[in-house]
């Protein structure tokens, strides 16, 4: 008999949402969305020997997902994380920052130009971590979400820990919270930013990545969970909504890219129809959130 998939956290029933490379499971109670470990056979498997394989990322796995960090160049780089930090650091006494999965560390370099502080990052791959340290000069420690207890972060406390679009690779939230409880200073901050778990996010991830996030955590779930563990809610922000098809598949850089985008739009429409009765109109829009906790 086939067991119905249950939520890893609250052990409740889930809704199955079909997608290109995976079946995703959405818990009706905690609203988190999970993906299983193994890929489904999908249309990009037919394109393995063509130029589309690079565009589709269909060869990527955990091991090679971030290998491009081995070739990154030190350059001036200002992203949303940089602008958030610039504003956030203004009125607070922050001397030690840990950016979890903060590779390749370019934000750290920019932030250090204007602030006197320690900026350290974590990465899960030893080779990449050593390379980042060499290029950026930032202390880089091993932290693998699949094995948090074996992290190599030195035993000290930080004024601010950032988890910027990476918590979704963490399947074991309990181990992560244990780690954070020990590493965030009293009155220190924890910042988590990621996608709202919905159809748009998983469909986009499933089409564009072959190693997409494991768990998209609902913001209410995270707030509840962290509040039980010495973290108080300090701020919660939502970012502008974007229609996922337009956001990802409307700009073409080359002819191949144009064809690839057409394929992706068709796939998206197919999965909107397939999941029609399980999703609402708002589920078609990507939305991100940022939650800030202050530690007791
Ligand atoms: Zn649940």
State the DSSP string of 265-280.
HHHHHHHHHHTGGG--
Count CA atoms closer than 13 A to 295's CA, side-chain side.
19
pLDDT of 4 higher than 70: no
**pLDDT category, 2, cuts 50, 70, 90?**
very low
Longest dimension (CA), the chain: 61
176 alpha carbon to ligand 1 midpoint, in Å?
17
Q: Which residues surround ligand 1, an ion (CB under 5 A)?
A: 7, 9-10, 12, 27, 29-30
* pLDDT above 90 (res 166): yes
What are the b/e assignments for 82-100, b being 16+ CB within 10 Å?
Answer: bebbeebbeeeebebbbbb
pLDDT digits 0-9 by tens, 126-145? 999 999 999 999 999 999 99
Query: What distances in angstroms separate CA 131 from CA 77, 105, 145, 166, one per listed residue?
Result: 18, 11, 20, 20
CA of 245 to the centre of ligand 1 (A): 28
Distance in Å, CA 9 to ligand 1 centroid: 5
The count of other CB atoms within 10 Å of the CB of residue 220 is 12
What's the pLDDT band for 3 if we cut at 50, 70, 90?
low
CA atoms of 294 and 231, how far apart (whole Å): 6
Tell me, in angstroms, the distance from the centre of ligand 1 to residue 221's CA: 9
CA of 36 to the centre of ligand 1 (A): 15
Mean pLDDT for the stretch of residues 91-95: 93
- How confident is the model over 200-247, as pLDDT tens digits? 999 999 999 999 999 999 999 999 999 999 999 999 999 989 999 999
Banded model confidence at residue 1, pLDDT cuts 50, 70, 90: very low
Pick the closest to residue 236 from 212, 254, 211, 218 (CA basis). 218
- The alpha carbon of 291 and the centre of ligand 1 are apart by a number of angstroms equal to 20
- What is the C-alpha separation between 271 and 71, in angstroms, rounded? 36
Average pLDDT, integer, range 173-194:
97
Closest residue by Cα to residue 216 from 22, 2, 80: 22
At 135, which helix (H) or strand (E)? helix 126-136
């Amino acid at each position: 008999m086939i067991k119905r998939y249950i939520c890893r956290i609250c052990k409740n029933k889930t809704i199955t949402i079909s997608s290109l490379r995976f079946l995703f499971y959405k818990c009706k109670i905690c609203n988190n969305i999970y993906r299983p470990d193994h890929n489904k056979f999908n249309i990009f498997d037919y394109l393995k020997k063509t130029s589309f394989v690079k565009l589709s990322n269909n060869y990527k796995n955990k091991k090679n997902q971030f290998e491009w960090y081995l070739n990154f160049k030190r350059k001036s780089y200002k992203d949303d994380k940089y602008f958030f930090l610039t504003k956030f650091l203004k009125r607070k006494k922050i001397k030690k920052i840990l950016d979890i999965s903060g590779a390749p560390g370019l934000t750290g370099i920019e932030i250090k130009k204007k602030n006197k502080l320690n900026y350290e990052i974590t990465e899960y791959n030893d080779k990449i971590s050593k390379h980042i340290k060499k290029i950026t000069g930032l202390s880089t420690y091993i932290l693998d979400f699949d094995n948090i207890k074996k992290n190599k972060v030195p035993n000290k406390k930080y004024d601010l820990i950032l988890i910027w679009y990476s918590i979704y690779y963490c399947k074991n939230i309990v181990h992560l919270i244990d780690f954070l409880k020990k590493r965030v200073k009293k009155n220190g901050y924890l910042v988590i930013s990621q996608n709202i778990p919905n159809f748009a996010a998983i469909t986009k991830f499933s089409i564009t990545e072959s190693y997409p996030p494991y768990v998209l955590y609902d913001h209410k779930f995270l707030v509840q969970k962290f509040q039980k563990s010495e973290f108080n809610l300090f701020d919660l922000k939502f970012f502008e909504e974007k229609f996922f098809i337009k956001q990802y598949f409307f700009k073409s850089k080359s002819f191949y890219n144009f064809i690839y985008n057409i394929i992706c739009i068709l796939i998206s429409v197919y999965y909107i129809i397939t999941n029609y009765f399980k999703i609402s109109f708002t589920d078609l829009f990507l939305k991100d959130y940022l939650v800030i906790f202050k530690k007791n």
